Amino acid sequence: MIGGMKGVALTIRQKCAERFEEEKGQFPKEAYLDLIDLKTIMTANFANFEAALKSVGYEGGKKRSLEWMDRLNKTRRLVGHPLKRHIAGYDFSSEECSFLTQCDERTRFLRRSVKF
């Protein structure tokens, strides 16, 4: 998981291992991380992520550099639960679509550039 166990809380590792077992090892254990788990890992290991986050425009210290993940998680819930979104009659604004596109571009870069 993300370079092994170093830097990943036991509770997160156990949750991923449990999901891995439930699905009979269909995907690597790190595939069972929740988005908010990634924020927790990045918060706990901020020094390893700070330069990369800054390089894509997420800066201003630990809290400010990672606050976009809370907004992304809120939006992810709407995507992950389309019936709720449909019943509420919710449509994504152009600003939200732009935010999602920006997150996608930046996280693709981060995934390539951060080595653990």
Quick check: is 83 in a domain? yes
Quick check: is 4 in a domain? no
Q: What is the pLDDT of residue 110?
A: 87
Quick check: is 78 in a domain? yes
Give the count of domains, the chain.
1
Sign of CA dihedral 39, 43, 45, 48: positive
The domain in which residue 56 lies consists of 49-113
Question: What is the band of 2 on the pLDDT scale with cuts at 50, 70, 90?
Answer: very low
**Which among 61, 65, 72, 59 has a CA at the least distance from the CA of 103?**
72
9-50 pLDDT, tens digit per residue, is: 999 999 999 999 999 999 999 899 999 999 999 999 999 999
Full-model pTM: 0.81
53-71 pLDDT, tens digit per residue, is: 999 999 999 999 999 999 9
